[in-house]
Amino acid sequence: MSNVLPREILITTIARLLEGVRHVAVGASSPMPAAGAMLRRALDENERTVRLSILGSVEHNFFTNGSCELFDSAGQGRIDAFFLGGGQIDGQANVNLVGVGDYPQVKVRWPGSFGSAYLYFVVPKVILFREEHTPRVMVEKVDFVSAPGVSDPEVYRPGGPVALLTGKGLFSFDKTRPGFTLESTHEGESLASIREATGFAFEHADSVPETPAPDAATLELLRTRVLDELEETYPAFAADWRRDLAALSVPA
């Protein structure tokens, strides 16, 4: 058994996907994206300033113009990366945050599209992040397009999806094809297990590597500074993590 927690691999992967960014925005209840951004900031400390805006957080809120400022600053090109989830995600990276079934009288109603119908177009690096990796989430075709994965060439679109990270693996997105390529499988998963859990077709190399675990230095940073920073905004998540770490250190 690995001495690295699954969530630590996810957070490290997020930090890797954020390489080179200067400003990451994270939704209100997104502890793992926030942790990934905090890790990125810690890793880049001596090279560049990485700003992290957590919506709804007082500590990590650089905004003073109300809830429109996130969208305005994204429109100005000041936000380099953002995370999107989705009740359904399909093979063209279309995202559905509205519901299952025939709109508007859907069978299952989710909250709604939030800002996705805008941010997906203007933020250069949108990372699709959804832990649940099942055929009901990863579908062939979404029932409602809250935000489309690709657009016609004449549509103004400096932004879009670059990757899909789930509890099972990491995909990159190729907008020219368009479609996903499986880049790596997390510990315990395989091409077969992922294929079974995925409702859409995807490309992959003959042999798909395992998602790398953090090196020792990164893991140390993660479990000290990042965990401490995260605690302010996501105390419950941090407590869970600490509990799991304590369990890890018990000899097997």
Applying CB under 8 A, does 26 fall inside the site for another protein? no
Applying CB under 8 A, does 176 fall inside the site for another protein? no
Structure tokens at 68: 């429109």
Applying CB under 8 A, does 146 fall inside the site for another protein? yes
Applying CB under 8 A, does 45 fall inside the site for another protein? no
Among 63, 134, 174, 245, the residue binding another protein under the rule CB under 8 A is 63
Q: What is the DSSP letter of 66?
A: G
Applying CB under 8 A, does 112 fall inside the site for another protein? yes
Applying CB under 8 A, does 23 fall inside the site for another protein? yes
b/e per residue 122-149 (b: at least 16 CB within 10 A): bbebbbbbbeebeeebbbeebbbbbbbb
Q: How far is the CB of 31 from another protein (least distance, A)?
A: 12
Among the residue ranges 32-40, 130-138, 152-160, 162-170, the one whose residues contact another protein (CB under 8 A): 152-160
Applying CB under 8 A, does 50 fall inside the site for another protein? no
Category of 188 on φ-ψ map: left (φ > 0), alpha (ψ -120 to 50) or beta: left
Other C-beta atoms lying within 10 Å of the C-beta of residue 240: 13
Which CB sits closer to another protein, 88 or 211? Answer: 88
CA pair distance 161, 33, nearest whole angstrom: 15
Pick from 162, 180, 170: nearest CA to 210 = 170
Which CB sits closer to another protein, 22 or 195? Answer: 22
* Residue 82 exposure: Cα atoms within 13 Å on the Cβ side: 26
Which CB sits closer to another protein, 20 or 235? Answer: 235
Point out which residues bind another protein (CB under 8 A).
Answer: 23, 28-29, 51, 56, 58, 61-69, 71-78, 97-99, 103-107, 109-122, 144-148, 151-152, 154-156
